[in-house]
Amino acid sequence: MQHLFSMHASAHSNNYRQAYVLLLLGFVFLTLAWLGMFNSFSIGVLLLGLGMLVVGLLNPRRFLSAGWLMTSLGVATFLMFRHSIPESQVLTAHLLAIGLGLLGIAWMARCGYISAGALTPGFFVVGVGVTEYLQAIHLIPSTVVPFALSLWLPGFGLFALGLVSLAASGRTYLAERMKTNVHHGSIAVHSAKEDGRRKEICKRFKIPKK
């Protein structure tokens, strides 16, 4: 039982570290974006993926699969806007990036790093498809693409993920503490009942107490 509690404490500690690293990375990228540094390098999507990939090492069940998929898409996006990929091969490059991302996610699930039914990668792929479609029919404001390519995207994205992760970790910790207290309370009640029964038997049969 003590080993189980220590495992829960270690997991909660890693979750909090992950949230703090996300907040720190988000703050750093927001500061660099505000200073106007590296905003013209089209690395916003790539840095968002790398940030999630780095914090995913602290707890592979969180952000690791999404970080790997986002990093793959970020590499394709970076090469596309640096004109290293011809316009006729943009769709092929993104499909290849998604394929590599899904292969990596399948490997993570096979190794037990993530659950086999993780929905986050699917949501990311759907989000990318919707974004590409809206961009193709010119329904996305002209400021969205520069925002996504600059450091503002990883700044706001990682900072928001840090806040969500911190709130989720705190709620999970409180739930585990309540479960532990209830468990200890049930043990105490059971022990008190056993003592009461033992005393009653001793009185009934006049057995001397030990």
The tens digit of pLDDT for each residue in 50-76 reads 999 999 888 888 888 889 999 999 999
| Residue-level pLDDT at 114 | 78
Residue-range definition of the domain harbouring residue 131: 2-173
Contacts of 8 (CB under 8 A, 6+ apart): 176
Residue 6: is its pLDDT beyond 60? no
Is residue 149 assigned to a domain? yes
d(CA 73, CA 100): 9
Contacts of 77 (CB under 8 A, 6+ apart): 42, 45, 46, 149
Is residue 144 assigned to a domain? yes
Residue 5: is its pLDDT beyond 50? no
Is residue 203 assigned to a domain? no
**Phi and psi at residue 124, to the nearest 5°:** -65, -45
| Residue-level pLDDT at 63 | 87
Residue of 45, 29, 2 whose CA lies nearest to 145: 45
Is residue 208 assigned to a domain? no
Rg (the chain; Cα; Å): 26
pLDDT digits (tens, 9 = 90+) for 77-110: 899 888 888 888 888 998 899 899 889 988 888 8
Is residue 134 assigned to a domain? yes
Look at the chain and report how many structural domains it folds into.
Answer: 1
Is residue 185 assigned to a domain? no
Is residue 179 assigned to a domain? no
Is residue 12 assigned to a domain? yes
